[in-house]
Amino acid sequence: MKEKILAKNPNGAGMLMLWIFLYLLAAALLVIGIILSAPLLTSLGSIWLGLGWIPFLGLKILQPQEALVLTLFGKYHGTLKGDGFFWVNPFCVAVNPAAKTKLRQSDDVGKDSVSSVISANGQIEIASKKISLKIMTLNNNRQKINDCLGNPIEIGIAVTWKVTDTAKAVFDVDNYKEYLSLQCDTALRNIVRLYPYDVAKNVDTTGDGIADEGSLRGSSEVVAQRIRDEIQQKVLNAGLEIVEARITYLAYAPEIAMAMLQRQQASAVIDARKMIVDGAVGMVEMALERLSESGVVDLDEERKAVMVSNLLVVLCGNHDAQPVVNSGSLY
């Protein structure tokens, strides 16, 4: 379905004054016809007074960044865009299948041009038939997805989007808001399953056959861009444009969160110990070189081994060393 913009529409204020004038004229004709006993004038005045309210149905008010998709006897008539007061064919009906759909997102603006529907419990529900052309935000529920290593994670995204083709949004899909939400879920699963939560060895996240260091935690910008592109491809036929996608929540699933935390803690401890040992070895090497250069003491291999052992114990220990004073010979 191709969008057709209704560019030339009569001014609503002028048409309103015209219909009011004709209504008053019909009332005057009715009175004159009764006074003069003129059946023709009485009939014309009565008919217009009975049917003269119909043209008022064609008056439409639009706020900035709003649109109305109109059908005439079941056929697509056109889309009314632009802020202002307009008059269209009174038999045109505004169509918006997503009018009553409430997702976790910024709602459509405007309270005019509404339709009343009696729900199953007897209450009257009012839903705007206008389509917002503003940029809106969809914050989908968190999903539990397995990453490329099979670890269950919970992830949530926020997608900013807008309607660019009202005809496609209304007629090519059943409900463009629900369609967008579903495509966000599927695109999120398709992309997340390609990445590990954290950097892992021998994992190819780009599909080029070469292992890389991509991860959900460390490459969030790249992942979000790929999610945005994936969603855009899927909603193109619905007349929607995805402006941006952002990861709003990322964590391991509760059932493995504690185990993964312990794993991260163990990895951090190992890295810290590794750094301490590397530094201690460098300090021992420097001490031996300085002693040898200054000639303070001449150490044989056995004494060097004892000194190295003592220095490593002092430098790598978790507690402060307790000095021992030797008043006798080293041997």
Q: What is the DSSP letter of 231?
A: H
Average model confidence (pLDDT) across the chain: 81
pLDDT in tens, 221-264: 999 999 999 999 999 999 999 999 999 998 888 877 677 677 67
- Reported pTM: 0.70
Which residues have C-beta within 8 Å of that of residue 53, sequence separation ≥ 6?
none
Which residues have C-beta within 8 Å of that of residue 185, sequence separation ≥ 6?
140, 143
Which residues have C-beta within 8 Å of that of residue 159, sequence separation ≥ 6?
137, 138, 140, 180, 184, 228, 231, 242, 244, 245, 246
Answer CATH for 136-252 from 3.50.50.60, 3.20.20.210, 3.40.50.80, 3.30.479.30: 3.30.479.30
Which of 208 and 329 is assigned the larger pLDDT? 208
CA angle 114, 117, 122 (to 5 degrees): 140
Which residues have C-beta within 8 Å of that of residue 321, sequence separation ≥ 6?
313, 314
Domain chopping of the chain, boundaries: 12-95, 136-252, 266-316
